[in-house]
Chain A
Amino acid sequence: MVLFKEVLLPKCNESGGSSGYLPLALIMQYHIVVAVAICSAVFVDSRKIRGISLAYRKFYKEKKTFLCLDGSKIIPFDQVNDDYCDCLDGSDEPGTAACLNGRFYCTNLGFRPCYIQSSRVNDGICDCCDGSDEHDKRTRCPNTCRNLGQQERAALEAEMRAVDDGMHLKRQLIKEGVSMWQEKQNQLKDLQRILSGLQTKLEAHRKRKLEADAHQAKVMGVLKSPGDGAGGKTAARIFGQLDINKDGSLTVDEVQAGVVNLQDDRSLTEEEVTALLGGPGPADLFRFQQTLWRSLQAAKKVKIKADLRGDLGPPNEGPATRAAPSAARQGEANLKEMEEALETTRAEIGNLEKVLSTDYGSSREFLYLQGQCFQLVVYEYTYSLCPFSHVTQKSSTGAEVSLGKWRYWAGPQEHPYSRMEFEDGAPCWQGPPRTTLVTLTCGTETALKRVREPTKCQYIMELWTPSACEQQREARRRGVHSEL
């Protein structure tokens, strides 16, 4: 029994291309194929040795008797492959369909050898590419092994190349991931620092405002504040204007391109910009509001370049024209701005923390997918997959349905990062909420390749990404190369 199962061979219908990792043992079999080709001349090709692999031929040497491979029974050798099952382990009928638990060895010269269930011998269906399983002559099976072998090798090579390319891209993605991660960490630190600064300031402001309000109320009665947060909006507009690459942060270059010296329209030096931005590195809107925006508003040193200013649209008021109407109003506007900034910062920190708490793979190779969405149109539906976020389906009529929100990695233990689970989408009529399972496949591009709905409201998507390429495929590549 044990002996008989020693060599693990794939089933014939398993194609090397799609079944994933090919064990090294299989590669070895290519060599055995060659060996069989050489050795088979030594054996008489009779009915008796039909369906037996080379490794087992030694058990089937013509003798008076045959010992079932599990040792359970000795039968006359005549009864080997005589189309009647004698051995409990089926070992006396490797070449017929007589034993329910038997298996037939397809030599498949030129392709790869494999075992099929004995029930597939002489059933009118060609299973072995060499046609050896249909030996009762009722069914003609052409030998397709050579073609298959060529095809498979070509496919394997192509796949290997693709995996190579994919691995290369993956390494880059990992590298990018490292810096992105660092950047986000830094961002978080910055934000946290800003937040605590803001909180301190806000406290002080509030106190002052309370005092000012009390004073004002005392003196003038309650005045309605005309403040409407426009300052914040204008700041955002100008920020947007300066943020040429629209990445949500201002670099030194971007500031240099949009801000000049108030007096002589001279370009600013890097040091000046760094100072204006309150420190090195790109500044986001909040930091901009706290730093450069104030300088612009104060109109003491710098101003927006004339050619940019026109784009800002009406009312075309430079920061300098906005004189503070009164101390109370100024204070109120500041307070409001500050509260908003605090909120924004808190939200940003929350988002960032969420992003940073997500599992992006063992080398954060999937981090680059964060914040991206991938689309696929299937008939009248447009599917949109936003990894680590959500999945939607939009029909041509425009209705958008949620197919699930990001839950977790759902791959098997050995490949945890091969599947993503999205749950709790829009509920089906009278049914459970929609769910989506995304399988990640090694590819040289990142793209949504396939969407299926095998059971109603349970979607299965296939996402190609270099990050799903696996190192261990290298072994296979070596095998194929040595074969060629």
Chain B
Amino acid sequence: MVWFLVAGVLLVLNGVRAVDRSNFKTCDQSSFCKRMRTMGLDQSPYRAILETLELSDSRLTLQLINDNNKVRLLLELYRLQGNMTRLKINELKPLRSRFEVPDVLVGEPPTKPLSMVSRDEAGVVLSLGTDAHQLVLNARPFRLDIVEGARVLLSVNGRGLLAFEHLRPRKDTNTQKDSEGEETTEGAQEEGEEREEEEPGMWEETFKSHVDSKPNGPSSISLDFSLPGVEHVYGIPEHAENLRLKTTDKGDPYRLYNLDVFQYELYNPMALYGAVPVLLSHNAQRTMGIFWLNAAETWVDISANTAGKTLSGKVLDHAQVPSDAPQTDVRWFSESGIIDVFIMLGPKPSDVFTQYASLTGTQSFPPLSTLGYHQCRWNYNDQEDVRAVDAGFDEHDIPYDFIWLDIEHTDGKRYFTWDAANFPQPRDMLRGLQDKRRKMVAIVDPHIKVDSGYRIHNEIRSRNLYVKDKDGGNYEGWCWPGTAGYPDFTDPEMRAWWASMFAYDKYEGSMENLYTWNDMNEPSVFNGPEVTMHKDAIHGTWEHRDVHNLYGLYVQMATAEGLIQRSGGVERPFVLTRAFFAGSQRYGAVWTGDNAAEWGHLKISIPMCLSLGLVGISFCGADVGGFFKNPGPELLVRWYQTGAYQPFFRAHAHLDTPRREPWLFGPQNTALIRDAVRQRYALLPYWYQLFYHAHRTGEPVMRPLWVEYPQDVATFTIDDQFLLGRHLLVHPVTEQGSQGVSVYLPGVGEVWYDAHTFRRHDGDQNLFVPVTLSSIPVFQRGGSIIPRKVRIRRSSTCMENDPYTLYVALSPQGTADGEIYIDDGHTFNYDRQKQFIHRRLTFANSSLSSSNLSADSQFTTASWIERVLILGGQEPSAVTLRTADGSRSLEFEFDAATSVLTIHKPGVNAGSDWTVLLQ
């Protein structure tokens, strides 16, 4: 009805093909990227002025000078707790202050003492705690090497690509000079400027019809890192790319600039909706990470090298690297801000996760229900539509927890409102869902319709909280509602006000079971450069250029805060975001944006979510079925099967696509989808436990194989299968017409059990698994215990009190262990009042026992242990249960064909101590 108007707008703006590359800049079209990338690989012009070195307990400062223009920089070095080094470089005396990213670090990282080992004219050597770990600083040219014993772990400026465009007055306005600021650098600067003036795009840049006025002139920064002995690097999402990053010598660097990319292409370094400037390096000996804390447009070049080519200077006194050893060089460059880098030294993958989590926080612990299945579509048209879809799930006996409303539910894309004709009684609708113990998510985007009849707009305007344009007026762009303002979410006052809008009395029609989705928060500006905000727009005292990649994080932060506040701080929030930055994991879930109903998009959902998991964002998913275009039944079924084993499990579809609720493709496909969703629900206890761990430790829920098998080189490039936690290996079928998949089962001396047939397979092999349409190849690691709830109900909440079935998969040594985690599933009481159950389940010496992992927590559950399956077991003569109340024997049956021992009804409470003995 009214939609074709909207669709018309969308399509007119974006066309209908795959990505229109001309809408987005190449490195050549981004003037600083071009400048930086064409910089020669000569000797670095920077030298450390050792006389300026100051070393306090945990901080070293030192001036660097660019011998070409005599501009001085200030280097700060910190040794951080947990085996990290922080490196900051700023101008010693910048003309104006340069932007330093706030609100991303959870706090000022705690430091550790830094001591000098030696010092001479060539440089200094600092100890990073142990004798083996040292930091070697070479003065001329400036370079840093982190060494462990005789091994160089990482070099900074090894290729001399440190660059720092100092702020300078505009030439045509440079009539009166600030004498103080110019004192030391004046002459050189003049000289420098002469050279630099030649570079186009420094003071103004045009892309398509958009002019970037660049009033502050050039301000970009760059630094290179060399990783000797490293051939595999990962991370820096978001890109539609393999897990292992490729070298970028032959094309553009990987770009980090949050953009609303229409119909993105696969295997491409183009920027997408979110950016996490964290890169992980890995080899069989060590995993490390580089966190480049900068929110401006950033590019990352990756090249393969040999170690000997870049090793020079003082470090040669300390360490040697075989000159032909492989090396990966990584170079970062950003348009503005300062250099602020965290070098996470591992050495294990889990150490890097812990280190990064200590800086930016961990995955928020989501409400249990949000790990269930989400049914979304642009759009469910009205309340009756919602009711009918809800009823459809019951009729077809498919569980789901959330139904979603996209932009059409609002009154003319005025967020926080409802379309009066189609959603006249939102509370009735929400109550209807609540009666089924289900929930809803409604979209709230950050662009605000400019309409004097719209309360939200009026208040933001009158509070003067909109982003400003370069001339000081309210910035206006074009988005779903037409002309829209963009709240300045970088302003704490704006965020506080926004959060307050989620109060039940402010957000009319909202209820406890209504949660929020933040889309378009890159921010998307249909008529802006690269479909986003002009870089010279103003956020308080900063340019949009400085804060761009942070905008989306702030939107989600404020929204999550609003959902917490509306419940008086009791309930955990759920907010899905499309744009993100380092730290976004603290605020909710992320999805991979507007994908398409194509096999390639199904396949790439795995590496895209794996990459996000590596940099802290565990709650990741792709639109099941594909957003654009129309999936055939086979693709849809395979996507459900894949999505059921990915963290955020939501089906979504474009407005123009035909309906695709799970029961619309014939009974056979409905049954296949039902089965996939049911597998998800059975496994929810395990998912929840994994998220609890992610929340506590920062370890990814969905992880690449190499994270658990760091020494197995064969795992380093695998991205068509993955692990959930340590215990489950999943290889979804992502090829059309597949007859089988080749699954790599890692682990010398380990065994894996097919999760469906319980057949046992040896580790350290490529196993061909024949598949049918119903197959989802999943394997449980021998040595693990996984709790499931096999009584599948209409929603996860309905399963709250249901009993557990424990799947004990024995290792070749006849042992296994696992955990069980239980809390109320939705409040912060697990944290604030320690109301949870966390138990260890151990199988050894023919006995399975449950013991408390958290003595000071308390929670009572109605759930009990219904059944125990011991995979790879033997037939006992008797099975006895021992509890505090005494012993009794249990019924059991043993299937010799599969070696599965099923123990009936221990019946013990899931929160109690118990032992089951096999005799």
Which residues of A are interface residues toward B (Cβ below 8 A)?
A: 11, 13, 82-84, 97-98, 100, 117, 119-120, 122-125, 136, 138, 378-379, 381, 428-431, 452-458
Contacts and interface: CB of A to CB of B under 8 A. Distances in A.
A100 B1 contact: no
B4 A429 contact: yes
Contact of A429 (B11, B436, B798, B905): B11
Contacts of B436: 125
B437 interface: yes
B790 A84 contact: no
A456 B793 contact: no
Interface string B1-41: 10110011001000010000000000000000000000000
Q: 3 closest A-B pairs (Cβ-Cβ)?
A: A123-B798, A84-B905, A455-B659
A127 B543 CA distance: 58
Contacts of B791: 97-98, 100, 119
Interface of B: 1, 3-4, 7-8, 11, 16, 381, 385, 391, 394-395, 397, 421, 435-437, 655-659, 790-794, 797-803, 862, 866-867, 904-905
B339 to A, nearest CB: 47
A123 B793 contact: yes
User: Which secondary structure dominates chain B's binding surface?
Assistant: loop
Contacts of B391: 13
A456 B798 CA distance: 34
B87 to A, nearest CB: 51
A430 B866 contact: no
A429 B421 CA distance: 25
Contact of B656 (A13, A82, A98, A456): A456
18 contacts: A84-B905, A100-B790, A119-B793, A119-B794, A124-B797, A125-B436, A125-B798, A138-B801, A429-B4, A429-B11, A430-B656, A431-B656, A453-B381, A454-B659, A455-B657, A456-B7, A456-B655, A457-B4
A124 B7 contact: no
A11 B396 CA distance: 12
A123 B656 contact: no
Contacts of B1: 378-379, 381, 453
Contacts of B658: 455, 458
B603 to A, nearest CB: 26
B4 A125 contact: no
Contacts of B798: 119, 123-125
A457 B657 CA distance: 10
A124 to B, nearest CB: 6
From A117, A123, A378, residue with most partner B Cβ within 10 Å: A123
A124 B437 contact: yes
Of B16, B791, B867, the most chain A CB neighbours within 10 A belong to B791
Nearest to A379: B421
A454 B385 contact: yes
Contacts of B381: 452-454
A428 B1 CA distance: 11
A142 to B, nearest CB: 13
Nearest to A75: B891
Most chain-A Cβ atoms within 10 A of its Cβ — which of B16, B659, B904, B905?
Answer: B905
B397 A117 contact: yes
B794 A428 contact: no
Contacts of A136: 801
Given A100-B792, A125-B794, A453-B381, A429 B7 contact: yes
Contact of A13 (B8, B394, B437, B797): B394
Given A13-B391, A125-B437, A455-B658, A429 B794 contact: no
Nearest to B384: A452
B435 A125 contact: yes
Nearest to B385: A454
B792 A119 contact: yes
A378 B384 CA distance: 15
A455 B379 CA distance: 9
B240 to A, nearest CB: 24
B904 to A, nearest CB: 6
B132 to A, nearest CB: 57
B407 to A, nearest CB: 14
A455 B381 CA distance: 9
Nearest to B379: A456
Contacts of A100: 790-792
A120 B4 CA distance: 41
A84 B656 contact: no
B287 to A, nearest CB: 43
A34 B730 CA distance: 55
Nearest to B800: A124
Nearest to A459: B1
Nearest to B16: A430
A76 to B, nearest CB: 10
Contact of A120 (B657, B659, B794): B794
Contacts of B394: 13
Contacts of B4: 428-429, 456-457
B8 A429 contact: yes
B447 to A, nearest CB: 23
Nearest to B864: A83
A429 B655 CA distance: 12
A120 B791 CA distance: 10
Contacts of A122: 801
A97 B802 contact: yes
Nearest to B397: A117
Contacts of A97: 791, 793, 802
Contacts of B397: 117, 119
Contacts of A119: 397, 791-794, 798
Contacts of B862: 138
B114 to A, nearest CB: 58
A321 B776 CA distance: 93
A123 B394 CA distance: 13
B794 A123 contact: yes
A152 B798 CA distance: 29
B728 to A, nearest CB: 21
Nearest to A123: B798
Contacts of B421: 379
A362 B795 CA distance: 46
A84 B904 contact: yes
Contacts of B800: 124
A84 B797 contact: no
Contacts of A456: 3-4, 7, 655-657
Given A97-B791, A456-B3, A456-B655, A430 B11 contact: yes
Contacts of B905: 82, 84
Nearest to A126: B435
Given A429-B4, A452-B385, 17 more contacts: A13-B395, A82-B905, A100-B792, A117-B397, A119-B792, A119-B793, A122-B801, A123-B793, A123-B798, A124-B798, A125-B435, A125-B794, A136-B801, A138-B801, A431-B656, A456-B4, A457-B4
A454 B382 CA distance: 10
A453 B408 CA distance: 14
Nearest to B438: A125
Nearest to B380: A454
A291 B215 CA distance: 91
Nearest to A432: B658
Contacts of A428: 4, 656
A123 B801 CA distance: 8
B152 to A, nearest CB: 57
A79 to B, nearest CB: 9
Contacts of B395: 11, 13
A361 to B, nearest CB: 29
A324 to B, nearest CB: 60
Given A454-B385, A455-B658, A456-B4, A84 B866 contact: yes
A100 B790 CA distance: 8
A464 B437 CA distance: 36
A429 B7 CA distance: 8
Contacts of B655: 456
Nearest to A458: B658
A62 to B, nearest CB: 21
A378 B422 CA distance: 11
Contacts of A138: 801, 862
